[in-house]
Amino acid sequence: MTWNPAPRCLADVEAVAEALLRDDDWLIVTHERPDGDAIGSALAMSLLLEKIGKRWTFMVEAPLPARFDYLEHYSKATVVSDEYAGRFQHVVAVDCADAARYAALQFVVAEGATVVNVDHHRTNPRFGVANAVDADAAATCEILFHLAKALQVPLSEPLSAALYTGILTDTAGFVQPNTTPEVYQIAAELLMSGVRPYDIAEPALEARSAEQMHLLQMALSNLTVSEDGRYAALYVTRGMIEGAGAEEDDVEGLVGFARSIDTVEVGILFRETPLQQVKVSLRSKRRVDVSEVAQRFGGGGHIRAAGCTLETTLEDAMEQIFTAVERALDEARV
Ligand code: 5GP
Ligand code: MN
Protein backbone atom coordinates (compact mmCIF):
# COMPACT_ATOMS: atom_id res chain seq x y z
CA MET A 1 0.00 0.00 0.00
CA THR A 2 1.33 3.44 -0.88
CA TRP A 3 1.43 6.10 1.78
CA ASN A 4 0.35 9.06 -0.32
CA PRO A 5 -3.38 8.65 -0.85
CA ALA A 6 -4.12 9.29 -4.51
CA PRO A 7 -7.34 10.96 -5.60
CA ARG A 8 -9.72 8.70 -7.50
CA CYS A 9 -10.71 11.62 -9.71
CA LEU A 10 -7.30 13.18 -10.40
CA ALA A 11 -8.26 14.68 -13.78
CA ASP A 12 -11.38 16.25 -12.28
CA VAL A 13 -9.45 17.68 -9.33
CA GLU A 14 -6.90 19.13 -11.73
CA ALA A 15 -9.67 20.65 -13.86
CA VAL A 16 -11.08 22.33 -10.75
CA ALA A 17 -7.61 23.60 -9.81
CA GLU A 18 -7.19 25.09 -13.30
CA ALA A 19 -10.63 26.70 -13.17
CA LEU A 20 -9.86 28.30 -9.79
CA LEU A 21 -6.54 29.65 -11.07
CA ARG A 22 -8.21 31.21 -14.09
CA ASP A 23 -10.39 33.77 -12.26
CA ASP A 24 -9.66 36.14 -9.41
CA ASP A 25 -12.78 36.75 -7.38
CA TRP A 26 -14.74 33.78 -6.06
CA LEU A 27 -18.00 33.32 -4.28
CA ILE A 28 -17.94 30.24 -2.04
CA VAL A 29 -21.29 28.61 -1.32
CA THR A 30 -22.39 25.45 0.41
CA HIS A 31 -25.72 23.83 1.27
CA GLU A 32 -28.40 25.26 3.54
CA ARG A 33 -28.12 24.44 7.24
CA PRO A 34 -24.45 23.57 6.69
CA ASP A 35 -22.91 20.71 8.67
CA GLY A 36 -19.26 20.05 9.56
CA ASP A 37 -18.30 18.94 6.08
CA ALA A 38 -20.07 21.86 4.42
CA ILE A 39 -18.43 24.42 6.72
CA GLY A 40 -15.08 22.62 6.79
CA SER A 41 -14.96 22.46 3.01
CA ALA A 42 -16.11 26.06 2.51
CA LEU A 43 -13.50 27.39 4.95
CA ALA A 44 -10.81 25.08 3.53
CA MET A 45 -11.69 26.49 0.10
CA SER A 46 -11.30 30.03 1.44
CA LEU A 47 -7.84 29.16 2.77
CA LEU A 48 -6.85 27.58 -0.55
CA LEU A 49 -8.07 30.59 -2.54
CA GLU A 50 -6.24 32.94 -0.20
CA LYS A 51 -3.01 30.97 -0.64
CA ILE A 52 -3.22 31.11 -4.42
CA GLY A 53 -3.76 34.87 -4.26
CA LYS A 54 -7.49 35.05 -5.00
CA ARG A 55 -10.24 37.12 -3.47
CA TRP A 56 -13.15 35.21 -1.97
CA THR A 57 -16.48 35.72 -0.25
CA PHE A 58 -18.06 32.86 1.69
CA MET A 59 -21.75 33.67 1.69
CA VAL A 60 -24.26 32.02 4.02
CA GLU A 61 -27.99 32.29 4.60
CA ALA A 62 -27.61 32.57 8.36
CA PRO A 63 -24.75 32.81 10.87
CA LEU A 64 -22.73 29.59 11.13
CA PRO A 65 -23.33 27.26 14.10
CA ALA A 66 -21.17 28.30 17.06
CA ARG A 67 -19.70 24.82 17.52
CA PHE A 68 -17.39 25.47 14.54
CA ASP A 69 -16.04 28.79 15.80
CA TYR A 70 -12.54 27.31 16.26
CA LEU A 71 -12.07 27.27 12.47
CA GLU A 72 -9.99 29.92 10.72
CA HIS A 73 -12.15 32.40 8.74
CA TYR A 74 -15.22 31.29 10.72
CA SER A 75 -16.06 34.90 11.50
CA LYS A 76 -15.54 35.95 7.88
CA ALA A 77 -18.65 34.19 6.61
CA THR A 78 -20.89 36.88 5.10
CA VAL A 79 -24.61 36.66 5.75
CA VAL A 80 -26.45 37.25 2.50
CA SER A 81 -28.45 40.43 1.93
CA ASP A 82 -30.07 42.26 -0.98
CA GLU A 83 -27.04 44.47 -1.54
CA TYR A 84 -25.20 41.49 -3.09
CA ALA A 85 -27.80 40.82 -5.80
CA GLY A 86 -26.12 39.72 -9.05
CA ARG A 87 -22.66 40.58 -7.72
CA PHE A 88 -20.68 37.40 -8.36
CA GLN A 89 -19.37 36.10 -11.69
CA HIS A 90 -17.49 33.07 -10.35
CA VAL A 91 -18.93 30.55 -7.93
CA VAL A 92 -17.41 27.56 -6.23
CA ALA A 93 -20.01 25.27 -4.64
CA VAL A 94 -18.79 22.77 -2.06
CA ASP A 95 -20.74 19.83 -0.62
CA CYS A 96 -23.82 20.78 -2.69
CA ALA A 97 -25.58 17.72 -4.12
CA ASP A 98 -27.23 20.00 -6.66
CA ALA A 99 -27.56 23.74 -7.35
CA ALA A 100 -30.90 23.82 -5.53
CA ARG A 101 -28.99 23.18 -2.30
CA TYR A 102 -27.92 26.85 -2.32
CA ALA A 103 -31.15 28.17 -3.84
CA ALA A 104 -31.46 30.98 -1.29
CA LEU A 105 -28.09 32.38 -2.42
CA GLN A 106 -28.78 32.07 -6.13
CA PHE A 107 -29.79 35.74 -6.52
CA VAL A 108 -26.27 36.98 -5.74
CA VAL A 109 -24.94 35.02 -8.73
CA ALA A 110 -24.71 37.01 -11.98
CA GLU A 111 -26.38 35.78 -15.14
CA GLY A 112 -24.06 33.41 -17.03
CA ALA A 113 -21.66 33.03 -14.08
CA THR A 114 -19.16 30.16 -14.07
CA VAL A 115 -19.79 27.55 -11.40
CA VAL A 116 -17.19 25.12 -10.09
CA ASN A 117 -18.58 22.11 -8.23
CA VAL A 118 -16.74 20.05 -5.59
CA ASP A 119 -18.89 17.40 -3.96
CA HIS A 120 -19.25 13.78 -2.90
CA HIS A 121 -22.97 13.08 -3.33
CA ARG A 122 -23.82 10.26 -5.73
CA THR A 123 -26.91 12.15 -6.88
CA ASN A 124 -24.82 15.18 -8.00
CA PRO A 125 -25.67 15.98 -11.66
CA ARG A 126 -22.26 17.68 -12.26
CA PHE A 127 -23.82 21.12 -12.58
CA GLY A 128 -20.55 23.06 -12.87
CA VAL A 129 -18.17 24.00 -15.69
CA ALA A 130 -15.57 22.03 -13.72
CA ASN A 131 -16.69 19.20 -11.44
CA ALA A 132 -14.74 17.21 -8.90
CA VAL A 133 -17.48 14.84 -7.79
CA ASP A 134 -16.46 11.62 -6.11
CA ALA A 135 -19.24 9.61 -4.49
CA ASP A 136 -16.66 7.32 -2.91
CA ALA A 137 -15.07 10.18 -1.00
CA ALA A 138 -16.12 10.09 2.65
CA ALA A 139 -16.43 13.86 2.72
CA THR A 140 -16.10 16.82 0.38
CA CYS A 141 -13.10 17.68 2.56
CA GLU A 142 -11.42 14.49 1.32
CA ILE A 143 -11.58 15.86 -2.24
CA LEU A 144 -10.31 19.25 -1.04
CA PHE A 145 -7.31 17.52 0.52
CA HIS A 146 -6.41 16.37 -3.00
CA LEU A 147 -7.18 19.82 -4.39
CA ALA A 148 -4.68 21.32 -1.94
CA LYS A 149 -2.06 18.94 -3.35
CA ALA A 150 -3.02 19.79 -6.93
CA LEU A 151 -2.69 23.52 -6.14
CA GLN A 152 0.57 22.81 -4.29
CA VAL A 153 -0.76 24.53 -1.19
CA PRO A 154 0.98 23.20 1.94
CA LEU A 155 -1.18 21.76 4.72
CA SER A 156 -1.08 24.57 7.26
CA GLU A 157 -2.61 23.89 10.67
CA PRO A 158 -5.77 25.95 9.93
CA LEU A 159 -6.28 24.23 6.57
CA SER A 160 -5.72 20.82 8.15
CA ALA A 161 -8.20 21.60 10.93
CA ALA A 162 -10.87 22.55 8.39
CA LEU A 163 -10.30 19.39 6.33
CA TYR A 164 -10.21 17.20 9.43
CA THR A 165 -13.51 18.69 10.63
CA GLY A 166 -15.32 17.63 7.47
CA ILE A 167 -13.85 14.14 7.43
CA LEU A 168 -14.46 13.60 11.15
CA THR A 169 -18.09 14.73 11.03
CA ASP A 170 -19.09 13.03 7.75
CA THR A 171 -17.71 9.71 9.00
CA ALA A 172 -19.38 10.35 12.40
CA GLY A 173 -16.00 10.00 14.10
CA PHE A 174 -14.43 7.46 11.71
CA VAL A 175 -17.10 4.81 12.21
CA GLN A 176 -19.48 5.02 9.25
CA PRO A 177 -19.01 2.60 6.33
CA ASN A 178 -17.46 5.45 4.29
CA THR A 179 -14.37 5.19 6.54
CA THR A 180 -11.80 3.82 4.09
CA PRO A 181 -8.06 3.24 4.47
CA GLU A 182 -7.54 6.50 2.53
CA VAL A 183 -9.59 8.35 5.15
CA TYR A 184 -7.20 7.19 7.86
CA GLN A 185 -4.17 7.99 5.69
CA ILE A 186 -5.44 11.51 5.07
CA ALA A 187 -6.36 11.93 8.75
CA ALA A 188 -2.85 10.82 9.73
CA GLU A 189 -1.35 13.44 7.42
CA LEU A 190 -3.63 16.11 8.89
CA LEU A 191 -2.55 15.13 12.40
CA MET A 192 1.07 15.39 11.30
CA SER A 193 0.23 18.91 10.10
CA GLY A 194 -0.76 19.97 13.58
CA VAL A 195 -4.37 18.87 14.11
CA ARG A 196 -5.11 17.90 17.72
CA PRO A 197 -7.99 15.42 17.41
CA TYR A 198 -9.76 16.12 20.69
CA ASP A 199 -9.66 19.88 20.13
CA ILE A 200 -11.85 19.24 17.10
CA ALA A 201 -13.87 16.21 18.23
CA GLU A 202 -15.01 17.91 21.40
CA PRO A 203 -16.70 20.95 19.82
CA ALA A 204 -17.57 19.35 16.45
CA LEU A 205 -18.99 16.01 17.60
CA GLU A 206 -19.42 15.71 21.35
CA ALA A 207 -20.68 19.06 22.61
CA ARG A 208 -24.42 19.54 23.12
CA SER A 209 -26.09 22.59 24.56
CA ALA A 210 -28.57 22.18 27.40
CA GLU A 211 -31.29 23.23 24.93
CA GLN A 212 -30.21 20.52 22.54
CA MET A 213 -30.45 17.95 25.35
CA HIS A 214 -33.92 19.17 26.18
CA LEU A 215 -34.96 18.81 22.54
CA LEU A 216 -33.49 15.30 22.52
CA GLN A 217 -35.55 14.43 25.59
CA MET A 218 -38.72 15.61 23.88
CA ALA A 219 -37.92 13.88 20.60
CA LEU A 220 -37.14 10.57 22.30
CA SER A 221 -40.51 10.68 24.01
CA ASN A 222 -42.20 10.40 20.58
CA LEU A 223 -39.88 7.72 19.19
CA THR A 224 -41.85 5.01 17.39
CA VAL A 225 -40.60 1.70 16.09
CA SER A 226 -42.49 -0.05 13.28
CA GLU A 227 -44.37 -3.20 14.28
CA ASP A 228 -41.84 -5.38 12.47
CA GLY A 229 -38.93 -3.43 14.01
CA ARG A 230 -37.38 -2.61 10.62
CA TYR A 231 -37.63 1.19 10.88
CA ALA A 232 -38.03 3.80 13.57
CA ALA A 233 -38.94 7.47 13.55
CA LEU A 234 -38.77 10.63 15.61
CA TYR A 235 -40.32 13.99 14.94
CA VAL A 236 -39.62 17.57 15.93
CA THR A 237 -42.37 20.18 15.74
CA ARG A 238 -42.02 23.96 15.79
CA GLY A 239 -43.51 23.88 19.29
CA MET A 240 -40.81 21.49 20.49
CA ILE A 241 -37.99 23.63 19.09
CA GLU A 242 -39.48 26.74 20.70
CA GLY A 243 -40.29 24.92 23.96
CA ALA A 244 -36.72 23.67 24.28
CA GLY A 245 -35.33 27.10 23.39
CA ALA A 246 -33.40 25.20 20.73
CA GLU A 247 -32.17 26.28 17.32
CA GLU A 248 -32.78 24.76 13.92
CA ASP A 249 -29.30 23.19 13.90
CA ASP A 250 -29.93 21.46 17.23
CA VAL A 251 -31.97 18.86 15.34
CA GLU A 252 -28.75 17.59 13.75
CA GLY A 253 -27.88 14.09 14.96
CA LEU A 254 -31.28 13.16 16.39
CA VAL A 255 -31.97 10.76 13.52
CA GLY A 256 -29.08 8.59 14.73
CA PHE A 257 -31.10 7.63 17.79
CA ALA A 258 -33.82 6.12 15.59
CA ARG A 259 -31.29 4.25 13.48
CA SER A 260 -29.31 2.97 16.47
CA ILE A 261 -32.07 0.60 17.63
CA ASP A 262 -30.72 -2.90 17.12
CA THR A 263 -33.48 -4.29 14.88
CA VAL A 264 -33.79 -1.12 12.81
CA GLU A 265 -32.43 -0.78 9.27
CA VAL A 266 -33.82 2.71 8.53
CA GLY A 267 -34.00 5.60 10.98
CA ILE A 268 -36.16 8.59 10.08
CA LEU A 269 -36.47 12.10 11.48
CA PHE A 270 -39.24 14.53 10.57
CA ARG A 271 -38.78 18.22 11.29
CA GLU A 272 -41.38 20.91 10.78
CA THR A 273 -39.70 23.90 9.10
CA PRO A 274 -40.61 27.55 9.68
CA LEU A 275 -42.03 27.53 6.12
CA GLN A 276 -44.63 24.87 6.95
CA GLN A 277 -42.78 22.14 5.16
CA VAL A 278 -41.54 18.88 6.59
CA LYS A 279 -37.81 18.15 6.30
CA VAL A 280 -37.10 14.42 6.34
CA SER A 281 -33.76 12.87 7.27
CA LEU A 282 -33.17 9.22 6.39
CA ARG A 283 -30.37 6.98 7.65
CA SER A 284 -29.81 3.30 6.90
CA LYS A 285 -27.41 0.70 8.25
CA ARG A 286 -26.48 -1.81 5.58
CA ARG A 287 -29.15 -2.67 3.05
CA VAL A 288 -31.45 0.15 2.02
CA ASP A 289 -30.38 2.88 -0.42
CA VAL A 290 -32.07 5.85 1.25
CA SER A 291 -30.89 8.29 -1.46
CA GLU A 292 -33.33 6.51 -3.80
CA VAL A 293 -36.17 7.01 -1.34
CA ALA A 294 -35.25 10.70 -0.93
CA GLN A 295 -35.00 11.20 -4.69
CA ARG A 296 -38.58 9.99 -5.09
CA PHE A 297 -39.57 13.07 -3.07
CA GLY A 298 -37.27 15.48 -4.90
CA GLY A 299 -34.39 15.16 -2.44
CA GLY A 300 -31.11 13.24 -2.56
CA GLY A 301 -27.94 12.44 -0.68
CA HIS A 302 -25.89 9.34 -0.01
CA ILE A 303 -26.78 5.63 0.07
CA ARG A 304 -26.83 5.59 3.90
CA ALA A 305 -27.75 9.24 4.62
CA ALA A 306 -30.20 11.26 2.58
CA GLY A 307 -32.89 13.88 2.93
CA CYS A 308 -35.87 15.53 1.27
CA THR A 309 -38.49 18.16 1.97
CA LEU A 310 -42.26 17.66 1.63
CA GLU A 311 -44.80 20.46 1.26
CA THR A 312 -47.40 18.91 3.50
CA THR A 313 -48.41 18.26 7.09
CA LEU A 314 -46.33 16.23 9.50
CA GLU A 315 -48.95 13.49 9.59
CA ASP A 316 -49.16 13.16 5.82
CA ALA A 317 -45.36 13.29 5.42
CA MET A 318 -45.05 10.42 7.89
CA GLU A 319 -47.61 8.35 6.01
CA GLN A 320 -45.94 8.93 2.63
CA ILE A 321 -42.41 8.31 3.88
CA PHE A 322 -43.34 5.21 5.88
CA THR A 323 -44.96 3.70 2.78
CA ALA A 324 -41.88 4.45 0.65
CA VAL A 325 -39.50 3.13 3.31
CA GLU A 326 -41.51 -0.08 3.75
CA ARG A 327 -41.33 -0.65 0.00
CA ALA A 328 -37.56 0.00 -0.01
CA LEU A 329 -37.11 -2.41 2.90
CA ASP A 330 -39.11 -5.06 1.03
CA GLU A 331 -37.09 -4.51 -2.15
CA ALA A 332 -33.84 -4.81 -0.18
CA ARG A 333 -35.28 -7.99 1.44
CA VAL A 334 -34.72 -6.69 4.95
P1 5GP B 1 -29.63 15.53 6.43
O2 5GP B 1 -30.63 14.47 6.67
O3 5GP B 1 -28.57 15.55 7.46
O4 5GP B 1 -30.23 16.87 6.16
O5 5GP B 1 -28.92 15.16 5.06
C6 5GP B 1 -28.34 13.91 4.83
C7 5GP B 1 -27.60 13.93 3.50
O8 5GP B 1 -28.53 14.09 2.44
C9 5GP B 1 -26.63 15.11 3.39
O10 5GP B 1 -25.48 14.65 2.72
C11 5GP B 1 -27.37 16.12 2.58
O12 5GP B 1 -26.50 16.90 1.81
C13 5GP B 1 -28.30 15.28 1.71
N14 5GP B 1 -29.59 15.95 1.54
C15 5GP B 1 -30.44 16.31 2.54
N16 5GP B 1 -31.55 16.92 2.05
C17 5GP B 1 -31.38 16.94 0.70
C18 5GP B 1 -32.18 17.44 -0.38
O19 5GP B 1 -33.27 17.98 -0.20
N20 5GP B 1 -31.67 17.29 -1.62
C21 5GP B 1 -30.48 16.69 -1.87
N22 5GP B 1 -30.06 16.58 -3.12
N23 5GP B 1 -29.71 16.20 -0.87
C24 5GP B 1 -30.14 16.32 0.38
MN1 MN C 1 -20.56 16.09 3.03
Equal fold, 10-206 vs 210-331: no
Residue nearest atom 20 of ligand 1, based on CA coordinates: 299
Ligand 2 mean position, distance from CA 218 (Å): 28
**pLDDT above 70 coverage of the chain, percent:** 99
The CA 144 to ligand 1 mean position distance, Å, reads: 20
Whether pLDDT at 1 is above 70: no
- Smallest CA separation from ligand 1 atom 13, residue: 301
Q: Domain 10-206: give its CATH code.
A: 3.90.1640.10
Q: Mean of the pLDDT values across residues 12-26?
A: 98
Residues with CB under 5 A from ligand 2 (ion): 37, 95, 140, 170
When pLDDT is averaged across residues 168-189 and rounded to a whole number, the result is 96
Query: What is the arithmetic mean of pLDDT over 72-88?
Result: 98
Mean of the pLDDT values across residues 185-193? 97
Q: Any residues with Cβ below 6 Å from ligand 1, and which?
A: 31, 97-98, 123, 281, 299-302, 305-309
What is the mean predicted confidence (pLDDT) over 173-187?
A: 95
- Mean pLDDT, range 98-117, rounded to an integer: 97
**pLDDT per position as a tens digit, 22-58:** 999 999 999 999 999 999 999 999 999 999 999 999 9
Q: Which CATH number fits domain 210-331: 3.10.310.30, 3.90.1150.10, 3.40.50.2300, 3.40.930.10?
A: 3.10.310.30
Distance 53 CA to ligand 1 centre (A): 33
Give the pLDDT score at 249.
86
Residue nearest to atom 18 of ligand 1 (CA): 299
Distance 245 CA to ligand 2 centre (A): 27
pLDDT range class, residue 102, cuts 50, 70, 90? very high
152 alpha carbon to ligand 1 midpoint, in Å?
Answer: 31
Question: Residue 167 C-alpha to ligand 2 middle, in angstroms?
Answer: 8
Centroid of ligand 2 to alpha carbon of 95 (angstroms): 5
Which atom of ligand 1 approaches the CA of 281 most closely? Answer: 2
Q: What is the mean pLDDT of the chain?
A: 96
pLDDT surpassing 60 at residue 317: yes
Ligand minimally distant from the alpha carbon of residue 306 = 1
pLDDT at residue number 273: 95
269-311 pLDDT per residue, tens:
999 999 999 999 999 999 999 999 999 999 999 999 999 999 9
Top mutation candidate among 31, 277, 293 for ligand 1, by most atoms within 8 Å of CB = 31
What confidence score (pLDDT) does residue 2 get? Answer: 57
Say if residue 6's pLDDT is above 80: no
CA of 87 to the centre of ligand 2 (A): 27
Q: Write the burial class of residue 246 (CB in 10 Å: 0-12 exposed, 13-18 middle, 19+ buried).
A: buried
Ligand number nearest to the C-alpha of 95: 2
Atom of ligand 1 at shortest range from CA of 269? 2
Model confidence band, residue 3 (pLDDT cutoffs 50, 70, 90): low
Question: Which residue's CA is the closest to the ligand 1 atom numbered 6?
Answer: 306
- Please give the average per-residue pLDDT across 172-192, as a whole number: 96
| 5 pLDDT above the threshold of 80 | no
Q: Where are the domains of the chain?
A: 10-206, 210-331
Q: Is residue 241 scored above 60 in pLDDT?
A: yes
Query: Do 38 and 93 meet the contact criterion of CB atoms below 8 Å apart?
Result: no
For ligand 1, atom 17, which residue shows the shortest CA distance?
307
Residue nearest to atom 23 of ligand 1 (CA): 300
The pTM score is: 0.92
